[in-house]
Structure 1
Amino acid sequence: MKRLLIMASLLGATPALADEGMWTYNNFPSSKVKEKYGFAPTQDWLDKVRLSSAKFGGGCSSSFVSADGLVMTNHHCARGCIQQLSTAKKDFIANGFYAKTQAEELQCPALEVSQLLDITDVTEQLNAATKGLTGKAYADGLKAEMAKLEKACATSEQFRCDVVTLYQGGKYNLYKYQRHQDVRLVFAPEQAIAFFGGDPDNFEFPRYDLDVSFLRVYGKDGKPAKTEHYFKWSEHGAKEGEATFISGHPGRTSRGLTVSQLETLRDMTLPKTLFRLSEMRGQLTEFQTRGAEQKRTSTNLLFGVENGLKANKGKLEQLSDKGFFAQKVAAEQELRTKVNADPKMKAKYGSAWDEIARAQQTYRDLRKEYESMENGLYSQLFGLARSLVRAADELPKPDAERLRGFNDANLPQLKVQLMSKAPIYPELEVLQLTFSLTKIREELGTEHPFVKKVLGKESPRALATRIVKGSKLADLKVREQLLSGGKAAIQASKDPLIQLASLVDPDARAIRKRYEEEVDAVVRKNSELIAQARFDVYGTQIYPDATGTLRLSFGAVKGYVEDGKQVEPFTSMGGTFGHATGEEPLALPKSWLAAQKTVKDTTPMNFVTTNDIIGGNSGSPVINQNAEIVGLVFDGNIQSLGGDYGFDESVNRAVSVHSDAIVEALQKVYKADRVLQELRPGATSAKGGSGL
């Protein structure tokens, strides 16, 4: 997967006509779009698209597609909700789900959909609060000012406010969100078609997936929310060469990192991540052979592990490409040369790269203990236990002094997570805790004080089994009592998971404090300086790295060349049946086999565009210049996996479900009249097909 990037991208200047960039809504290059595609998005157009887009859960995107709160996203984004609503007798992952009436729509146990209402530049306030500060003082000052701004913004529980760091600290924006917490499942196809081709086809093209789900947000009155802003459905869907826009929440990119930071990722972080994910995949694959229920309860987790494994492998391959890395080195050196040539800039910015390099060495020294103590233990139950223990410590403190995530502005979301009715699967909990305890012992060694403190005389499996079987945290009432009881309730608790979280927390806090003050604060402070140097040298008309916040990219429907062969931009629904073998993961569900004769073979199924995306864009709407739905993003091609570090328009592609395929499937396979009527008033299902 070798790709070389154009130098303009690496240097921080915007390529003249490349479809590069995940742009913020308050700095979108409309003139550049007009120059290439003949259409300049106006402020009214941008506002409509922003308000019609939504963040879905903790790591996906979505959009409003009707005036009655109907939300569209990927099946794999809604999979957590779908699995939580499933039982051994009603497996909606395997068999799909369709609510034929509003009363049958099922509430997701732990899901929030949020809509970006407003963006405010707060760079001056953050810079003033940290001016002249370094180390601990800088970290404390930044944290306190962020908490202050977020608290003042979040005037009620229906809103959430986040300070967003852009350009590695060159700018700070305050994002205000409308929160929708009553989210109900309306329609989901079977896993077999939503993830048709499974892991072998993941991040590949051609693809043949119907990776879509529909949900609905409700108001506090228990009625569907009225959404003023939403995307209408296009009449014909995307066409080759047509300009496309993708509005979503790309997770994180690292295009602005220094060479020393990229070396840390290449040489340490990514290899370690791959080793861990590979081992976890093996554990889960074995777990799924234990029985049907074990397979059902672990499918969502296995998907995430396999997806992460493939994505991180692509990242490592990109950073290991000598030609690519040489360009990153050259780009950094050119900027440093320009800075050093100006005495004022040299005095202000010249040492920033070296300071970050020293912080990387500090991180390498801290990594084993930091990753083991602060991030090493994980499972659904342990996450609840740690949040309860930390909430008891943090909430009595002044807001500005709390750990991030426990500030007043975050409390509504924290309570939703702690009070979630999502099911917990004890056998899977034991597996995850056993694995994480084993890895901690492996990393730190049997003689490390932390390992002895945690394990004592027990093996990882014995300890995990004992505390999961003995814990009552799966009971919502127990969690409510512990949260309301505060520190006294936590200290009095005999629950083994609470006791474990309390046992490890002092060590975790201590190593986290060192990391925040000796690594994170140094990186943040000096990254701000490098960002300002880029602004001084290259100007401000550049896009920032992705941060999990709403962005807009532009591009066009366009194929590409791979291994000397032309890859056409579309697949067809007829090709879906041709791709099937009858064996997993290429076995179509019964509903599709029953409807094969009625489905129009030439209907476009999936397609690719030159839009710049990254993980987190899953579920993003693909729209045309009329702000109409023409597709739904669900993946990138294999060449896009290096997109964390750069963009190459010649081969990087976003992969989407075509809007016509969604309508064709709803109409002829599932006979989902209610959904069809909302998307296209007047449409009805066709005869044939088995429905759900």
Structure 2
Amino acid sequence: MRIALVAALVLSSGFAYGDEGQWQPYQMPSIADKLEQHGIKIPAKQLADLSQYPMNAVVSLGYCTASFVSPQGLVVTNHHCAYRAIQYNSKSEHNYLENGFLAKTKADEPSAGPNERLYITEAVTDVTKQVMANLSADPLARYEDIQTNSKALVKDCEADDNYRCEVNSFHNGLEFYLTKQLIIRDVRLVYAPPESVGGYGGDIDNYEYPRHSGDFAFLRAYVGKDGKPATYSKDNVPFTPKSFVKVNADGVKAGDGVFVAGYPGSTSRYRMTSELKFASDWLYPTYASRYQLQIDTIKAMGAGNKDVAIKYAGTMASMENRMKKLNGLLDGFKATDIVGIKQARENDFLAWLKQDKGANQALVTELQSLLSTQHQQLQGSYYFSNAQSSALLDAAKSLYRLAKEKQKSDDKREQGYQERDMKMFTAKLERIDSSFEASVDQMLWQQDLNAYLAQPLKEAALDKALGITSPAQLDAKLASFYQATELNDQAKRLAWMNADTAAFEASSDPFIALAVALYDANMAQEKAEKRLEGELSVARPAYMKAVIAYNQANNWPVYPDANGTLRITYGMVDGYQSKDALYKQPFTRLEGIVAKHTGVEPFNAPSKLVDAINAKRYGSHEVENLYPELGTWICRLFSCLDEAGKFGSVPVNFLSSVDTTGGNSGSPVFNAKGDLVGLNFDSTYEAITKDWFFNPTITRAIHVDFRYILWMMDEVDNADNLIAELELVRN
């Protein structure tokens, strides 16, 4: 028992806590002391400057993060982030999802797809005063005023068509920042391992650890010969980034300080306890039930049809990931009384607030009342919204809405329907073909309609338009929609972008007719949601202002919830105690791949990879001992040495205490000097609830070790041409 205790203590390296905070870059100087405590040597002021290394090399894919790794526009991200690009180029005769892809020359690099983009953030500006200027007291008008002010700022920012700008809310509407991003419109696929490497372990290992996933892929940014962004053309040339990250071939060890830069999607840490209870009691279970049915349906329909399997591969991967996360959230709420913890914190906040005589004591009551209305609103609209889930109906609704919005001046149009949005609007319509099969779409839609018919909250417009009262009538009715529509033809679908409202209202296409019939009901629902958002735009900021003051009084970190904008988080390479008597080491290694290998998906590693491991062909990427602080006797107990007394392997994945969430996928993991040492791709199962509450003892992020990436490129796939592009450095 004493040996086990000593081993656990030594293995933990003395670092038992995660590091909370998804910080805006400008905040870095304010936490410079914390960075120094973690051994991070790169100056905080440098990290705050988006024009300097390494922040000017970090880019967004719109849904994931990536980074430039060469002066020739080479970009590295996760395999699952490049999934659409791989899927786009996969056919039955050359399935790159199954077999992987490597372009040996730039001429061999295919387009990642007409809809793929890279976004390079060049400036982030505080525009709170401009957004909040001259707001109406009426909730709906207030909402519209905020949108109008934001759109005006965006329009000025996008004077150059090569830029995409967006106004984002921080601290629930207390602050607003304008982000300006350069758009790269020609993105190409360069290198991706097979899915049996990139997604090794599949859904079984998703959010789990130990992990052995080679979740990486390389893309390349191209521009016109004049150096400006351009759509795909054979004449385009590789983009020259302002900087690119150096790759540290020696990597990191347990206890090293690291930091991550990326675009985390969303967190809810400042939400009220009632919101957490609503999510755990109704929202998440309801979502999970629907997702599981959809997953089972797509899997069954794709089992005997390879084309369907390829088309819906990205959809399946995304849905399975969401499903695992939902289950993790629900399990986490059961395992740890997060509702109780947040309620205790909230009670303490309320007691603190009462002591402040100048505080608005009614702000919490007002917010709670609005949240109750919001929850009722969501429950009331959920099944009606899902009953419109067909991809073709969604296209028809968007097209008719576009015709309606075109009747207004551009500045008065709804966001998503302005002239600035037309390229993305077109791309969305085009993208339908790559992940659409009529039989699958009909089945999924029919399931949502069954759920709608089975509950009491009906919408008269939908019932009248469909003309059905029972599930038994659905199959024939929906089949007639898909047989009679022309929206499954891309050219005809795109042609509707130029039609006026009269053409839609006279159309006999069943999907368009249904979109027209549902328009008023959908707009009424949208109007109610906007009015409520207008009321919340007063209540939430007032609440947040008090919460921030409370946090500051307790010397707790104050950073905004994640909202898809550029953030930095720091931490250390470290394992964790996942449960009683189970400590998880921070590194996994090649031998773990072979130990899991069964030859059956998802543990079906490629034979050339298994052969290289069995032959101990480690090359220059071998690490003799990832745990030099351990004595030989302890290491033998924990099987971290081979028979010769050496580590003798290559690290595959590693853990750190950085604070990440969805959207951080593909984010570069930097060492103390700012060298690239890994790619973020997941969190541990125990840490999923960090979207609501950060538990420092168990929160760990999972990263691909770049030494494994280099080993794959060198010893398995012979990607010498790409290795030559990288700037490799040593400690």
In the superposition, the TM-score normalised over structure 2's length comes to 0.85
Q: 2:603 aligns with which of 586, 605, 628?
A: 586
Q: 1:435 aligns with which of 434, 447, 462?
A: 447
* CA shift digits 1:211-242 (9 cap, x unpaired): 11111111134111111222111121122111
* Structure 1 residues 309 and 681, CA gap change in structure 2 (3 angstroms): closer
Q: Does 1:116 align with 2:121?
A: yes
- The aligned residue for residue 366 of structure 1 is 377
| Alpha-carbon contact 2:70-2:727 (below 8 Å) kept | no
Q: Is the partner of 2:54 in helix, strand or coil?
A: helix
| Alpha-carbon contact 1:440-1:451 (below 8 Å) kept | no
Tell me how far 1:549 sits from its aligned partner.
1.4
- The aligned residue for residue 334 of structure 1 is 348
* CA shift digits 1:421-477 (9 cap, x unpaired): 8523333322332233333323456x6524413421484433443333433334332
* Structure 1 residues 565 and 118, CA gap change in structure 2 (3 angstroms): same
Q: 1:230-269 counterparts in 2 under 5 A? A: 230-269=244-283
Q: Does 1:662 align with 2:709?
A: yes
Q: Output the CA distance in 1 between the equivalents of 2:334 and 2:540.
A: 24
Q: Output the CA distance in 2 between the equivalents of 1:480 and 1:123.
A: 38
Tell me how far 1:121 sits from its aligned partner.
0.4
* Structure 1 residues 216 and 268, CA gap change in structure 2 (3 angstroms): same
Tell me how far 1:318 sits from its aligned partner.
3.5
| Alpha-carbon contact 1:166-1:545 (below 8 Å) kept | yes
| Alpha-carbon contact 2:103-2:109 (below 8 Å) kept | yes
- The aligned residue for residue 569 of structure 1 is 586
| Alpha-carbon contact 2:571-2:658 (below 8 Å) kept | yes
Question: Mind listing any 5+ residue stretches in structure 2 that lack a counterpart?
Answer: 1-16, 226-235, 619-647
Q: Output the CA distance in 1 between the equivalents of 2:547 and 2:222.
A: 45
Question: Mind listing any 5+ residue stretches in structure 1 that lack a counterpart?
Answer: 1-16, 684-692
Q: Which of structures 1 and 2 has the bigger CA Rg?
A: 2
| Alpha-carbon contact 2:41-2:673 (below 8 Å) kept | no
Q: Does 1:512 align with 2:512?
A: no
Q: 1:80 aligns with which of 74, 80, 84?
A: 84
- The aligned residue for residue 549 of structure 1 is 565
Q: Output the CA distance in 2 between the equivalents of 1:459 and 1:230.
A: 59
* CA shift digits 1:570-621 (9 cap, x unpaired): 0111221122122221111233235342642611001100001111111111
- The aligned residue for residue 322 of structure 2 is 308
Letter in 1 for 2:99: N
Q: Does 1:42 align with 2:89?
A: no
Q: 1:220 aligns with which of 217, 224, 234?
A: 224
Tell me how far 1:252 sits from its aligned partner.
0.7
Identity %: 27
- The aligned residue for residue 530 of structure 1 is 543
Q: Output the CA distance in 1 between the equivalents of 2:526 and 2:333.
A: 28
* CA shift digits 1:492-517 (9 cap, x unpaired): 54433333322222211111211221
- The aligned residue for residue 4 of structure 1 is none
Letter in 2 for 1:22: Q
Q: Output the CA distance in 2 between the equivalents of 1:488 and 1:676.
A: 58
Q: 2:60 aligns with which of 47, 52, 55?
A: 55
* Structure 1 residues 284 and 200, CA gap change in structure 2 (3 angstroms): same
Q: Is the partner of 1:44 in helix, strand or coil?
A: helix
* Structure 1 residues 112 and 454, CA gap change in structure 2 (3 angstroms): farther
Q: Output the CA distance in 1 between the equivalents of 2:336 and 2:573.
A: 31
| Alpha-carbon contact 1:581-1:587 (below 8 Å) kept | yes
| Alpha-carbon contact 1:556-1:611 (below 8 Å) kept | yes
Q: 1:315-326 counterparts in 2 under 5 A? A: 315-320=329-334, 323-326=337-340
Q: Output the CA distance in 1 between the equivalents of 2:447 and 2:108.
A: 39
- The aligned residue for residue 277 of structure 1 is 291
Q: Relative to structure 2, which stretch is displaced further, 324-333 or 401-410? A: 401-410
Q: Output the CA distance in 2 between the equivalents of 1:320 and 1:168.
A: 28
Q: Output the CA distance in 2 between the equivalents of 1:241 and 1:297.
A: 43
Q: Output the CA distance in 2 between the equivalents of 1:200 and 1:138.
A: 47
- The aligned residue for residue 92 of structure 1 is 96
* Structure 1 residues 242 and 376, CA gap change in structure 2 (3 angstroms): farther
| Alpha-carbon contact 1:470-1:495 (below 8 Å) kept | yes
Q: Output the CA distance in 2 between the equivalents of 1:378 and 1:521.
A: 27
- The aligned residue for residue 499 of structure 1 is 513
Q: Is the partner of 1:129 in helix, strand or coil?
A: coil
Q: Output the CA distance in 2 between the equivalents of 1:195 and 1:408.
A: 39
Cα-Cα RMSD: 2.5
Q: 1:184 aligns with which of 169, 188, 196?
A: 188
* CA shift digits 1:664-688 (9 cap, x unpaired): 00111111122212124799xxxxx
| Alpha-carbon contact 2:139-2:535 (below 8 Å) kept | yes
| Alpha-carbon contact 1:569-1:608 (below 8 Å) kept | yes
Tell me how far 1:643 sits from its aligned partner.
0.9
- The aligned residue for residue 27 of structure 1 is 27
Letter in 2 for 1:586: F
Q: 1:344-355 counterparts in 2 under 5 A? A: 344-346=358-360, 350-355=361-366
| Alpha-carbon contact 2:39-2:672 (below 8 Å) kept | no
Q: Output the CA distance in 2 between the equivalents of 1:73 and 1:469.
A: 41
- The aligned residue for residue 231 of structure 2 is none
- The aligned residue for residue 622 of structure 1 is 669
Tell me how far 1:20 sits from its aligned partner.
0.8
Letter in 1 for 2:452: I
Q: Output the CA distance in 1 between the equivalents of 2:491 and 2:664.
A: 36
Q: Output the CA distance in 2 between the equivalents of 1:523 and 1:316.
A: 27
* Structure 1 residues 187 and 381, CA gap change in structure 2 (3 angstroms): farther
Q: Is the partner of 2:560 in helix, strand or coil?
A: coil
| Alpha-carbon contact 2:679-2:705 (below 8 Å) kept | yes
Q: Output the CA distance in 1 between the equivalents of 2:439 and 2:308.
A: 8
* Structure 1 residues 134 and 602, CA gap change in structure 2 (3 angstroms): farther
Q: Relative to structure 2, which stretch is displaced further, 229-238 or 598-607? A: 598-607
Q: 1:392-403 counterparts in 2 under 5 A? A: 392-403=403-414
Q: Is the partner of 1:90 in helix, strand or coil?
A: coil
